Amino acid sequence: MNVKRSRLQKYEDRSSFFGMGRKGDETRGRLLDATQDLIESGGYYGAGLNQVIAASGMPRGSLYFHFPGGKDAMVAEALRRAGREIGQAVGDLAGSAPDAAALVTGVLGLLGDRLEASGWRKGCPVATVALEMAATDDPLQEVCAEVYDSWDGALRDRLAADGHPDPDDLATTVLALVEGALLLARAHRSRDPLDRVARKITAFLAL
């Protein structure tokens, strides 16, 4: 025990690679967690910094240490991270889905579970911010567009691989359908819209 360790060894004790594992990255992560949760639930304005620091348990000063760009910088990173998480979850599902229809119904089921389990708080993590910022020149607007683009692209690739005609049109249509169903489900606090769309989507994708 108590073997002498080089700086590199100590460094790797707490991380797999660069950037992670330092003391403050825990704080940073918690701030992002809280931000992600709050903006998904209530949008950009619904996620006040006071709520973020209360939910994360981190002090105000740490926020501006880790995100010198302030709220917008933190929200931007939270949005990108949320986009990656959803993208990954869908990607995992895509691996086991035999066809596009099964993938989409699987995604709808997954999102429905997530939505219901969260008390109708967690729908699409970027939708609210995207709408709030659509008419502004805030850089967050572009961040949201990029997240949607990443989803659209992944979906299009899968549809093309499955041999669907017009994969571009179809991918955007399916994405719109899922986003719209999530919106209605949140508005009604019910997964009915998701279920209804799921029942129809199979016929649609068989076209």
Question: Given the complex with DNA, which of 35 and 105 has the nearer CB atom?
Answer: 35
Question: Given the complex with a second copy, which of 21 and 42 has the nearer CB atom?
Answer: 42
Residue in the block written with tokens 């955007």: 172
The option from DNA, a second copy, none interacting with 49 (CB < 5 to 8 A, set by class) reads DNA
Total of residues contacting DNA (CB under 7 A):
25
The option from DNA, a second copy, none interacting with 183 (CB < 5 to 8 A, set by class) reads a second copy
Separation CA 184–CA 178 (nearest Å) = 10
Q: Is 195 in the site for DNA (CB under 7 A)?
A: no
Return the structure tokens found at 61: 């000063």
Give the CA distances from residue 24 to residues 8, 15, 30, 62, 65, in Å, rounded to whole numbers and listed in that order: 18, 13, 10, 9, 10
| Dihedral class, residue 22 (left if φ above 0, else alpha if ψ from -120 to 50, else beta) | beta
From the list 68-76, 102-110, 116-124, 142-150, the region that binds DNA by CB under 7 A is 68-76
Interface residues toward DNA, by CB under 7 A: 7, 10, 22-27, 45, 47-51, 58-62, 64-66, 70-72
